Each structure stands twice: as C-alpha cells, then as structure tokens.
A and B are shown apart, each in its own frame.
Chain A
C-alpha cells in the first residue's frame, strides 16, 4: 500500500476549495430563484399596472349621452365585487353633475407607479390627462391613487384611496427615500 503524504497546507487548501464550491452552488441556486421571482413579480406588476390604467381611464372617460349604466357596466367589469357595489351605489351624485354639464371627456394615462403592496393588494399612482375638465375643476392633469386587488379573474380595481391613506403612503415613501439617501 502506497502512503500519500498531505501537508497541513494542502489540507487547508482542500477544505477552502470545498467550501468555495459549496458556497458557489448555493449562490447560483439562489440567484436563479431570485431572477425567477423577480421575473414573476415584474410580470404581475405589469398586469396590475395595465389593469389599473384601463380601469382609471374607464372611470374618467365620461360620455354623458351614453349614460351612467353603460359607464358602470364597463367599470364593474374591471372592478372587484365590492368595488363594483361601491361605484354602483354611490355614483348618482357624480353623474348628476356629468349629465347637467353634458360632459364628454376622454382620458389618457401618462405614468404609473406602484407605491405600496401587501399580499394580493397593490396601490398604484396613475397620472392622468383629460381632454376636458370635469365639473367644478379646471384641472386636466391629476394623479389618482388606486387600490388594485388580485382576484381569481386577475387584477381588479377595488377603489380610490381615502385622503388619509394617501397621506400615510406618501409619508412612508418619503421616509424610505430619506433612508436610501442616507445609506448612499
């Protein structure tokens, strides 16, 4: 039997090499998973952004002649069940003005940005441009904060955010931004 002599140095090198290979395998596996997760997240975000844009355009695309029912019909198709109920039960006041002033506007999305998310809910800001102002305002450019919910039929508009919710989200994003700047 032939005896193989290993110096202490060689043993240390061998262990280090083994460790490096193991770490490499783990990093590679995680990186691949991370890339897949990122891809999935990006696709989901793209869907949510698109649905949010379509829903917000539908909400502000007003044709007083076509009427509330048709508007609601199209909006409900893009909304959650609870969202559809909310719009259906509370749209009279909006539409009274739209019909009184014979509003006819088209809407265009300029920019979208995800500003918050938990589980199957996402908050998006949608910058919108209208072809003509709505009653009581001269603005044709504004920002909508919308809650999108992922349902079995995909992303749906749940509702617009309350003012206090918007304040909290803006505050949290400002804090995050400040922390990032400090980190850099």
Chain B
C-alpha cells in the first residue's frame, strides 16, 4: 500500500485534484501500489474531467478506502521498489505506463486483470450510478457519400433490435438533429447533449445547450500533433519520446476556435487526438473513439454521431502530410468502418446506467436502411413498412 503518500505528494497537481487527494489521503494510502497510478492519473486530470466523472472519481476513492477487502486481489502482485516509490507521484501517466510494462514483463498482467475486475465488480454492485435526465438516446449516421454496399449493414447490431428497410430519406438527418435540439432545450445540463461529426455539421445545427466536436474544426490542433509525430519519426526518437511530446500538448495555449474555448473541451479534444489511435489520420477512427469516450466519460443523455468519409489509406508519410485536410477519400471503406463503429457505440451505451430504457438508432445516410433498438422493439426483427426517422423516434420514446 502507498503508505508513503503525504499531503505534499500532490503539490504539483492542479487545484481541485490536489484538494480531493488531500481530503482523501487516508483512503489513497490504502490503495495497493499496483493500482495507485490509475487513481493518480484521474486526480492529476481531475480539474478537466466532466462533472459525472468527477463525482465518480471521488466515489471510487472513498469506496476503496472504506472497503479494503475489495482490493484483496492486488495483494499477491509484486511491485519493485522503483515503482513503489514516492518519486513516481509527479508524473502519473509515466507511472501508469511503467507499471503496465512491468506487469506485462513480470507475467502478472492476468493476476492484475482479475484483481481489477473483482474490484470493479464489487464497486459497481455497491454503488448507485448517476442516472440520465431522461432515458438516453444515441443516434448514429453512417455512410455519408457511400453507395449501396454488396453486404448487409447492421448485421452485428441486428440481434439487439430491428432492421428497418424502408425509411424515408428526406428529412431523416433533420429529424435526428431536431430530436437532439428538443431534448437539449427541455433538459438542459452541462455536457448532457452532444453532437459529434467527422465532417462539417448538418446545416441546421444550433449549438445552444449542445456540446459539439467537429473533426474539421480540430485541424489546427491535429496539424500540431502530426508535426510532432513526424519530427519524432524522422529523428528516430522512439515511442516514449513521442508519448512525452504528445502529452505536453495539453499544456499548449488553447486554440482560437470558439468551440474549444471551454478548457474541459479543449483538454478532451487533445486527449482524443493524442491518446486515440488513428484519430489523427482517419475521421472514422476519430468519430468512433470520440463516441466511445463521450459515452464512457461524459455519459450523455443525448448523443448524435455522424460519420464522414476518411482519407484513403496511403503510406504513413503521405497520410501524415495530408492529415485532417485530406481530399482523396474512401467512402466505401468508411462505411464498413462506421458500421462496426455503430455496433461499438451500442455496446458502450449498454454499459451505462439505465440502459434498459435507452434508445439506439443507426441510419445509413441518404438510404432507406436503419436499425433501432429500445424498449418494445423486438430483437432480431425486420420491418419493411414505410416509416420516417421522426416516427421511429416517436414510437420508441412512447415506450421508454
């Protein structure tokens, strides 16, 4: 256990995170060292976490301190003195990376994984997670600019809900946006309603009460990141230097875009581009990872996600040079990417509280195919009758 933690251990941490750590010092001192970096990473970034995350971090620390038996699984994990060491507190990301490397190399990762799963299981069973303001609604538009493929869409999703094959395309995107706007206005709350787009947003988008991230708007930030990656590659600096250089981007002045003037959102955007893999180069990877992170971290009440075509695969150097501004696009490949990503979005939504009341809608943009899951929808069914997105959302909302 990290009995060597003191109040001064957190002197370099941002204010809110430091205050939380100091006020829960005795709880943190009971945390096994193998698990400690996970808690410290959260504390160091606490000031930029979303409100629901902040509540979760505090609850988890309190629970660990009050229920040491939940951490018993970590008892057999051996940690060397180089890691069981107060000097590691200052840089928790590095601490976590080194701990992970050590656990793999000492072949203790399976034991760690079992211990972590046990802790999460006990904690989840004991806690009362935050509930959404109203039942959640997640809407995913896939396949912008893609032709009808020679395979069936939504196959992985099908067993969870209904395929709709005759959805009117006119007004469909507008209906999704209208649902987002209506819910945001009737249930306003910070970071509760989101719109993520891999391209430029739908023309009728109104940002009032809606948190949004559009890939093209991140181009200046992304170019900085790609420039650092390119420099590291050319210098042969290695992945560790690259990691450090990318981590420093969180300390850069915020870019000029109004959409990222919120420090939390800026921090979030940087994390998407530095911690996400492929997010710097492929808009589909960016939207998939952003969807996952928005659901996992912000736990929104409403989420509208729209995929855009990613750049065509080329050599690494060419893709780095093109970055966010690539013009040679691959709509067919992007449709496959987004179809899988829609499935992952559904799985992530199911991990959140109140999932039994949630609604999930995926639509092949400008085509009559859609998928819907929610209360009252027969899993594995197919419905060929004519409908609209507005009608689909209305039907499900009546039963949620």
User: Do A and B make up one complex?
Assistant: no
**Interface, chain A (partner B; CB < 8 A):** none
